[in-house]
Copies of this chain bind each other. A is one copy, B any other.
């Protein structure tokens, strides 16, 4: 009975039209053009590399799309157990009408050709969105993105701020900030103005969130302007040679200033907590980052207290931090659970993390899922994976366990999948 119920709930959830609250889609080129764009997703290149394929072979420049795919195909059977590969088979089935139970030497060229023909259709982008039942999509935009040339209702800008917080000492970043904001930066007031200008630019272009990914050691502090002024002065002089104390002080100050701007503009501040960059520097592109799971949300307690009116949708990289996220969302009005991120975005971690959230966090404070995709085709299989897990928790815990009606369970599912995205991000 439980499996039939799950299936019934899944089908109802799968009817919903959604907003995807975090992606890396390029609004000027949102969909794929060849199968190589799909197989180029770092999940496949890094798993293929982990399974033994040399990075140089995977990433050799000046190799055409067909050859890029050919080089990966032989290794796909080594990763056919992974959730990630199952996304690809779902894409083949739902987007290309090709039902296969594995992708190998025998069938990849057919798929490559079919995919190429489909993707060449003029309305491919709309087709994909319609099939995926995704109506609107959050982007990830550099602070100096002009945000032009696309429909900002469909593709909602989001101000990504890693560079400002962690790389301000690089002259390239400072230059980008100065030229995009048209503020010449020689003191803290200039920096404040430049940051404020960027927020205004984003707000004018319909931005609905500010976002950042943070390393495990990061513990936001409210640095005084006096101290920051000194560190900024050092940083403007020494650039990347700035001592780490000053770099850290500026990181903390800029981060706090971002929160100030979020408060000013009633903008949610997405925190993606826990990633160490370049742990494996010889890994493939975007396949070099890992983490130290020893991180705690208590590092953010001062921040949550200081900005009670700023919603903080929080993603945690490791499932071990999920219980803290549940507890902090249950206590702090401005802390919100946000999706299942990266290394925690596989079925068994989603299952346990989601169950813990649904049984203890106010229902309006759980943003179910975002795809984190780079190409539109991935929303469908990734959301599908999540909806399977959501249907399972709704069936087991709420309908069978607590005696809820299916209708009531679906209403909770809809709130988590769709309504909360709209209410939290005011979109």
Query: A interface vs B, CB < 8 Å?
Result: 3, 46-47, 49-52, 78-84, 86, 101, 276, 279-283, 287-288, 290-294, 296-298, 301, 304-305, 308, 318-321, 323-324, 326-333, 343-344, 346-349, 352, 355-356, 358-365, 388, 397-398, 400-404, 412
Contact = CB atoms under 8 A, between A and B. Distances in A.
Contacts of A397: 347-348
A331 B83 contact: no
Nearest to A355: B348
Contact of A290 (B331, B344, B347): B331
Contact of A301 (B290, B330, B343, B363): B290
A376 B276 CA distance: 43
A426 to B, nearest CB: 14
A276 B291 CA distance: 23
Given A46-B331, A290-B327, A397-B347, A363 B283 contact: no
Given A51-B333, A51-B362, A301 B280 contact: yes
A348 B356 contact: yes
A84 B364 CA distance: 16
Contacts of A290: 297-298, 301, 324, 327-328, 331
A282 B305 CA distance: 8
A333 B280 CA distance: 10
21 contacts: A50-B365, A51-B365, A52-B333, A78-B362, A78-B363, A78-B364, A81-B412, A82-B362, A86-B402, A101-B403, A101-B404, A282-B305, A287-B331, A290-B327, A290-B328, A290-B331, A293-B323, A323-B349, A348-B355, A348-B356, A348-B397
Most buried by B among A330, A363, A402: A330
A50 B323 contact: no
A168 B366 CA distance: 42
Contacts of A328: 290
* Residue from the set A293, A304, A347 with the largest chain B CB neighbour count within 10 Å: A293
A360 to B, nearest CB: 5
| Chain A interface, DSSP helix/strand/loop, else mixed | helix
B331 A283 contact: yes
A405 to B, nearest CB: 8
Nearest to A304: B280
Contacts of A280: 301, 304-305, 331-332
Contacts of A291: 298, 324, 327
A122 B3 CA distance: 49
Contacts of A352: 348, 352
Given A347-B397, A403-B101, A47 B358 contact: no
A343 B305 CA distance: 20
A80 B363 contact: yes
Given A81-B363, A320-B320, A348-B356, 11 more contacts: A50-B361, A51-B365, A78-B363, A78-B364, A79-B362, A292-B298, A293-B323, A320-B323, A323-B344, A347-B359, A352-B352
The 9 closest A-B pairs by CB, nearest first: A51-B362, A292-B298, A292-B296, A348-B355, A327-B343, A81-B363, A83-B359, A346-B360, A79-B362
Nearest to A279: B301
A324 B317 CA distance: 10
A332 B290 CA distance: 10
A346 B329 contact: no
Nearest to A284: B331
A397 B348 CA distance: 9
A317 to B, nearest CB: 9
Contacts of A360: 82-84, 343, 346
Nearest to A324: B293
A82 B330 CA distance: 10
A330 to B, nearest CB: 6
Contacts of A401: 347, 388
Contacts of A86: 402
Contacts of A330: 46-47, 50, 343
Contact of A298 (B279, B324, B388): B279
